[in-house]
């Protein structure tokens, strides 16, 4: 017999070892997120998936589901917090969607649409981060990195390498490359590595593939992120 939690008044079954996010996905309930991917260890980086568990704020991707939990996923306060987090991510880096190759396929952009974000609210940081185009097949635009740690986890957990790491804190936080020169060309990344394809924004791109899928025909041009996310992640959990 399954134990249950309650999400916005709906009883949701869960199995031992599942997180709140796992249980929600199994029940076709979307909790906004950027750093979560069911193929990798949860990290709790972005905080978009913050929910209230018996009145306490918790990250749904890392917090275990337990009998008796009364969870709020949708409330005015939570939606406002998620909107502000997303706005801060936009102004912290260069996320000018019309000029980005990832537009229409970008999860950050899609979350902004889902949250009905109409402006950036905060002033732009205009941080000076260089682009690394040194690798013959892979490009990194550090100004589009949101520090979700997905490339770090993918390189370690799937590729059995250690190409990426996050260094520093606050405005000095940055994605660093494990090579003597600090450049991607001198690392052991390969175009077929999971880490080269996992980025939810336009920070890590494969060269020579830009605009092969026309704008208007891309993933989030066709469907909202909650529909895409639940379809893909339910399949991964199945």
| Domain residue extents for the chain | 3-81+227-237, 96-223
pLDDT for 170: 81
Strand partners, 176: 165
Q: What is the CATH number of domain 96-223?
A: 3.30.70.20
Q: Do the beta carbons of residue 195 and residue 161 sit within 8 Å?
A: yes
Model-level pTM?
0.93
Q: Do the beta carbons of residue 82 and residue 34 sit within 8 Å?
A: no
Fold of the domain spanning 3-81+227-237 = Ubiquitin-like (UB roll) (3.10.20)
pLDDT for 112: 97
Strand partners, 5: 12
3-class DSSP string for the chain:
CCEEEEECCEEEEECCCCEHHHHHHHCCCCCCCCCCCCCCCCCCCCCCCEEEECCEEEECCCCECCCCCEEECCCHHHHHHHHHHHHHHHHHCCCCHHHCCCCCCCHHHHHHHHCCCCCCCCCCCCCCCCEECCCCCEEEEHHHCCCCCHHHHHHHHCCCCCCEEEECCHHHCEEEECCCCCCHHHCCCCCCCHHHCCCCCCCEEECCCCCCCCCCCCHHHHCCHHHHHHHHHHHHHC
Q: Do the beta carbons of residue 228 and residue 180 sit within 8 Å?
A: no
**Long-range residue pairs from 223-227, CB within 8 A, at least 24 positions apart, any chain:** 224/110, 224/113, 224/114, 225/30, 225/32, 225/107, 225/110, 225/111, 225/113, 225/114, 226/30, 226/32, 226/114
Say how many Å lie between the first and final Cα of the chain, rounded.
19
Cα 124 → chain centroid? 21
Pairing of the two strands 56-59 and 50-53: antiparallel
Digits of tens for pLDDT over the chain (238 positions)? 579 999 999 999 999 999 999 999 999 999 999 999 999 999 999 999 999 999 999 999 999 999 999 999 999 999 999 999 999 999 998 899 988 999 999 999 999 999 999 988 998 888 888 899 999 999 999 999 999 999 999 999 999 999 999 999 887 889 999 999 999 999 999 999 999 999 999 999 999 998 899 999 999 999 999 999 999 887 665 5
């Amino acid at each position: 017999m399954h134990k249950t939690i309650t999400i916005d008044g709906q009883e949701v079954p869960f199995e031992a070892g599942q997180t709140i996010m796992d249980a929600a996905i199994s029940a076709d309930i979307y909790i906004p997120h950027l750093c979560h991917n069911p193929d990798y260890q949860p990290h709790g980086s972005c905080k978009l998936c913050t929910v209230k568990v018996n009145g306490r704020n918790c990250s749904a991707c890392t917090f275990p589901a337990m009998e008796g939990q009364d969870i709020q996923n949708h409330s005015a306060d939570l939606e406002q917090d998620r909107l502000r987090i997303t706005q801060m991510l936009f102004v912290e880096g260069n996320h000018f969607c019309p000029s980005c190759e990832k537009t229409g396929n970008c999860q950050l952009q899609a979350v902004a649409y889902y949250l009905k974000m109409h402006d950036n609210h905060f002033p732009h940081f205009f941080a000076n981060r260089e682009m690394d185009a040194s690798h013959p097949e892979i490009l990194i635009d550090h100004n589009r990195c949101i520090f979700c740690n997905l490339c770090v986890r993918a390189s370690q957990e799937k590729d059995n390498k250690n190409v990426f790491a996050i260094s520093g804190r606050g405005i000095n936080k940055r994605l660093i490359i494990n090579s003597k020169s600090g450049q991607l060309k001198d690392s052991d990344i390969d175009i077929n590595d999971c880490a080269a394809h996992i980025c939810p924004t336009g920070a890590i791109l494969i060269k020579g593939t830009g605009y092969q899928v026309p704008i208007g025909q891309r993933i989030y041009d066709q469907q909202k992120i909650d529909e895409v996310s639940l379809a893909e992640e339910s399949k991964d959990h199945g």
